[in-house]
A and B are shown apart, each in its own frame.
Chain A
Amino acid sequence: MKKKEKTTYSFPSKILTVFFILLCLIWIMPIFEVLINSFKENAAVNTNAFALPDKDSFVGFANYIKGMTFGNYPFAKALGFSFLITISSVVVILLFTSMTAWYIARVDSKFARMFYYLCLFSMIVPFQMVMFTLSFTADQLKLNTPYAIPIVYLGFGAGMAIFMFVGFIKGLPLEIEEAAAIDGCGPIRTYFRVVFPMLKPTLISVGILETMWVWNDYLLPYLVLDRTKYMTIPILVQYLKGSYGSVDLGATMAVIMLSIIPIIIVYIFCQKHIIKGVAAGAVKG
Chain B
Amino acid sequence: MKKGKKMKNSGQTVNSQLLRKPIRRCFPLFVMPTLICFCIGFIWPFLQGIYLSFCDFNTPKDAKWIGVGNYAKAFKDAGFIHAFWNTAGFAVVSIILINVVAFFIAYALTQKMAGANLFRTVFFMPNLIGGVVLGYIWSMIFDAILKGYGTYLTSNATYGFWGLVILVAWQQIGYMMIIYIAGFQSVPGDMIEAAKIDGATGWQTLTRVIIPNIMPSVTICTFLTLTNSFKMFDQNLALTGGAPSVMMNGAKLNMTELLALNIYSTYNINKSWHGAAQAKAVVFFLLVAVLAIAQLTATRSKEVQQ
Residues of A in contact with B (beta carbons under 8 Å apart): 5-6, 8-10, 13-14, 16-17, 20-21, 23-24, 27-28, 30-31, 33-34, 37, 45, 48-50, 96-97, 99-100, 102-103, 106-109, 115, 118-119, 122, 124-134, 136-138, 141, 143, 151-159, 162, 174, 177-178, 181-182, 186-188, 191, 212, 215-219, 233-234, 237-238, 241, 245, 249, 252-253, 256, 259-260, 263-264, 266-267, 271, 274-275, 278-279, 282-283, 285
A-chain residues with CB within 8 Å of residue B16 when the two chains form the complex = 106, 108
Closest to B40 in A: A155
A263 touches B120 (CB 8 A): no
A27 touches B170 (CB 8 A): yes
Q: How far is it, in angstroms, between the C-alpha of A64 and the C-alpha of B109 when the chains are bound?
A: 38
Interface centre among B30, B35, B122, B181 (most CB of A within 10 A): B30
A174-B15 CB under 8 A given contacts A17-B114, A155-B42, A263-B128 = yes
Are A187 and B37 in touch, CB under 8 angstroms? no
**Cβ of B179 < 8 Å from any Cβ of A?**
yes
Cβ of B31 < 8 Å from any Cβ of A? yes
Q: List 28 A-B contacts (CB under 8 A).
A: A13-B112, A21-B115, A24-B122, A34-B140, A37-B140, A49-B140, A49-B141, A96-B33, A100-B30, A106-B16, A106-B19, A115-B35, A128-B231, A128-B259, A130-B45, A131-B281, A151-B40, A158-B41, A158-B42, A177-B19, A216-B129, A217-B130, A218-B132, A218-B234, A219-B233, A263-B129, A282-B179, A285-B224
| CB proximity of B52 to chain A, nearest CB, Å | 7
Q: Contact at A234–B29, with CB atoms within 8 Å?
A: no
Report the bound CA distance from A10 to B35 in whole Å: 57
Cβ–Cβ contact B12 & A174, under 8 A: yes
Please state if A49 and B144 are interface contacts (CB–CB under 8 Å).
Answer: yes
**Nearest opposing residue in chain B for A282, CB measure:** B179
Is A122 touching B178 in the complex (CB atoms < 8 A)?
no
Residues of A within 8 A of B285 (CB): 125-126, 128-129
List the one stretch of B66-74, B156-164, B260-268 in contact with chain A.
Answer: B260-268
Binds A, one of B20-28, B92-100, B187-195, B242-250: B20-28
Question: Which residues of chain B are near A154, meaning CB under 8 Å?
Answer: 33-34, 37-38, 41
CA distance A216 to B134 in the complex (A): 10
User: Least Cβ distance of B57 to chain A in Å?
Assistant: 10
Beta-carbon contact of B20 and A130 below 8 Å: no
- A16 and B37 form a contact (CB under 8 A): no
Tell me, yes or no, whether B131 is within 8 Å of chain A by CB.
yes
Q: A1 to nearest B CB, angstroms?
A: 13
| CB-contacts of B273-303 with A (<8 A) | 274, 277-278, 281-282, 284-285, 288-289, 292-293
Complex contact B136–A252 (CB within 8 A) = yes
Distance between B230 CB and nearest chain A CB, rounded to angstroms:
7
User: How many B residues touch the partner, as a band?
Assistant: 35 or more
Inter-chain contacts of A103 with B (CB < 8 A): 23, 26-27, 30-31
Q: Are the C-beta atoms of A278 and B128 separated by less than 8 Å?
A: no
- When distances are taken between beta carbons in the complex, the residues of chain A under 8 Å from B293 are 124
Q: What is the minimal beta-carbon distance from A57 to any residue of chain B, in angstroms?
A: 14
Given the known interface contacts A97-B34, A125-B285, A278-B178, the answer about A107 and B23 at a Cβ–Cβ threshold of 8 Å is yes
With A151-B37, A152-B40, A238-B238 in contact, do A178 and B277 touch (Cβ < 8 Å)?
A: no
Pick the 4 closest A-B CB pairs, nearest first: A155-B41, A216-B130, A49-B144, A155-B37
CA of A127 to CA of B133, assembled, Å: 19
- CB B181 to nearest CB in A, in angstroms, measures 7
Q: Is the interface of A mostly helix, strand, loop or mixed?
A: helix
The chain A residue with its CB closest to the CB of B14 is: A178
B182 cross-chain contacts in A, Cβ below 8 A? 279, 282-283
Q: How far is the CA of A4 from the CA of B137 in the complex (A)?
A: 42
Contact B60 A122 (CB under 8 A): no
Choice from A9, A133, A162, A256 contacting B52 with Cβ under 8 Å: A133
Residue of B nearest to A157 (CB): B41
Other-chain contact of A134, B41, B136, B137, B216 (Cβ < 8 Å) = B41
B120 CB → nearest A CB, Å: 7
User: Are A33 and B137 in contact (CB-based, < 8 A)?
Assistant: yes
Are A16 and B113 in contact, with the CB atoms below 8 A? yes
The smallest C-beta distance from A164 to any residue of chain B, in angstroms, reads: 13
Contact of B113 among A9, A106, A137 (CB under 8 A): A9
Also in contact, A14 and B23, with CB within 8 A (given A20-B119, A133-B60, A267-B125)? no
A4 to B26 alpha-carbon distance, docked (Å): 57
Closest chain-B Cβ to A99's Cβ sits at a distance in Å of: 5
Q: Please report the C-alpha to C-alpha distance between residue A5 and residue B114 in the assembled complex, in whole angstroms.
A: 9
Contacts of A156 on B, CB cut-off 8 Å? 41-42
A37 neighbours in B (Cβ, 8 Å): 140
B5 CB to nearest chain A CB (Å): 11
Which chain A residue has the least Cβ–Cβ distance from B231?
A: A126
Whether a CB of chain A sits under 8 angstroms from the CB of B175 is yes
**Does B204 reach chain A (CB closer than 8 Å)?**
no
- The answer to whether B42 and A122 have CB atoms under 8 Å apart is yes
Q: Select from chain B the residue with minimum beta-carbon distance to A5.
A: B112
B22→A181 contact, CB < 8 A: yes
Asked if B281 contacts A241 (CB within 8 A), the reply is: no
The answer to whether B25 touches A249, judged by C-beta atoms less than 8 angstroms apart, is no
Asked whether, in the complex, the Cβ of A256 is within 8 Å of the Cβ of B20, the reply is: no
Tell which of A13, A136, A218, A267 touches B114, judged by Cβ atoms closer than 8 Å. Answer: A13
